[in-house]
Amino acid sequence: MQVEETELEGCYVIIPRIFRDKRGEFFESFNQDKFEELTGVNPNFIQDNQSISHKNVLRGLHFQIGDYAQAKLVRVISGSVLDVVVDIRPNSKTFGRYIALVLDNQTNKQLYIPRGMAHGFLTLEDHTIFSYKCDNYYNKASERGIIFNDKSIGIDWNEDGASLIVSEKDLVLPTLEEYFHEDSISHGR
């Protein structure tokens, strides 16, 4: 396993060592001890999730808040995605910045996303299977999101927008500015 730091503090690209031969391939998709040794992070993953999507499905940008905030380890089992992470930690030096990378079943790269980040992805192929480990349980009341096309973030999804398949829920998410303005009002700041 190899780990590459991203420009977002605490967010890592995980590159597995893949063994290929005439039978196919094998790789270790997660090893707690190696992960901790290479990242300094000791997650306790307690929930695994999986989605299967058609080409051009855009999911995100999602996160959970409070006691149900989640760190995630994401990967693609079949197909490919453009995976995007936005730093939404108000005191972070990279607040509002994002990273984007292709995750696929050829390289089997994974992305570790710490708490305090919004996450989304765009499927690049039909029948893309996306899998992720979470260090906290899903809680509907703690679920939040930022609109995928927030101009202040400026994510390049490499799409014209017309062909995207986005849920009704994700189409009405606030911008980053609106989210933090609404959050400060609701908490009396």
pLDDT band at 159 (very low <50, low <70, confident <90, very high): confident
Active site residue 62: yes
pLDDT band at 112 (very low <50, low <70, confident <90, very high): very high
* 153 half-sphere exposure, CB direction, 13 A CA radius: 28
Task: Give the CATH number for residue 81.
Answer: 2.60.120.10
pLDDT band at 188 (very low <50, low <70, confident <90, very high): very low
Domain membership flag for residue 23: no
Print the domain residue range for 137: 44-186
* Catalytic one of 12, 62, 119, 179: 62
pLDDT tens for 20-53 read 999 998 998 999 999 999 999 999 999 999 999 9
Q: Is the pLDDT of residue 184 over 50?
A: no
Domain membership flag for residue 26: no
Active site residue 138: no
Domain membership flag for residue 28: no
Give residue 158's pLDDT.
Answer: 83
E strands of 30-91, at which residues?
Answer: 47-53, 57-64, 72-78, 80-87
Domain membership flag for residue 170: yes
CA neighbor of 41 nearest in space, from 72, 62, 63: 72
Domain membership flag for residue 1: no
Residue 153 φ/ψ region, left for φ over 0, alpha for ψ in the -120 to 50 degree band, beta for the rest? alpha
pTM of the model: 0.92
Domain membership flag for residue 181: yes
* Catalytic one of 12, 98, 112, 132: 132
Task: Domain count for the chain, please give it.
Answer: 1
- Amino acid occupying residue 111: L
* 173 half-sphere exposure, CB direction, 13 A CA radius: 23
Mean pLDDT (whole number) for 75-85 = 98
